[in-house]
Amino acid sequence: MTLDDRSLHASTASHTDPTDDDATDSTHNNPATGAPETQSDTPQTARKRASLLREIVETLLLALIIFVAVRAVVLNFRVDGLSMTPSLEDNEMLLVNRNAYLSFDTWAFVDWLPFVEHDEQNIVHPFDPPERGDIIVFNPPVSNDSKPYIKRVIGLPGETVEARGGHVYIDGHRVDEPYLEGEETWCGSIQGVKQDCEAVTVPEGSVFVLGDNRDNSTDSRAFGIVDVDRIIGKAWFAYWPFDAVGIVPHYDYPELNESE
């Protein structure tokens, strides 16, 4: 009787012991290292990690493509100096449109043909060529200064620009420049006497530029006309400081348009 009771108790314990490792713990020892292993590195988890990595790479590549595309169209420029006050202030930050004056020679598409011969160019501007009143960033024709300048386009190809009596004239017509806030235009002074500027005819493919702060600007009065090929871009948008945020101002010179 006693022996039968022991057998019954032992059999019952073998089926109800809650501490059975095989039934309650999925962790087992690594046979190579003896360290515990888990079942976390499943094929599904590996696929999720690969998918996450792919998304990160795709996002970085997309960001790089967008950055390169934007840099191909616009660039940042910081106004250095007072030559464009009051229109632009020192240290003002601008976005410059690099493709505003994009141009190409249509003959370039057929020049490779052996029977095509021509001496002239046929330059086409998908947008617009430089216009009077545009504020441009360019590499100046000055040998001892490599930094870009920013000035306003005043004279266009074929026009004659001069300054006399403190005012600018285009083909004999006086230019109204309200952005100067009354400042006059001269070409230096001799013994205290202010000097007029000699007339300059702007050749094709060039522009005549002036700073808005005429008494503190090195411009076409000093270094002459500027080749269009030297233009980096057109000042488009001011984004710093906050009180200057907005489209860079442009003036249309209605008095000259009426005289044409």
Please say if 83 is a catalytic residue.
yes
Active-site residue, from 11, 26, 40, 83? 83
Please say if 194 is a catalytic residue.
no
SS3 track for the chain? CHHHHHHHHHHHHHHHCCCCHHHHCCCEECCCCCCEECCCCCHHHHHHHHHHHHHHHHHHHHHHHHHHHHHHHEEEEECCCCCCCCCCCCCCEEEEECCCCCCEEHHHHCCCCCCCCCCCCCEECCCCCCCCCCEEEECCCCCCCCCCEEEEEEECCCCEEEEECCEEEECCEECCCHHHCCCCCCCCEECCEECCEEEEECCCCEEEEECCCHHHCCCHHHHCCEEHHHEEEEEEEEEECHHHCEECCCCCCHHHHHHC
Active-site residue, from 14, 87, 151, 234? 151
Q: Catalytic amino acids?
A: 83, 151
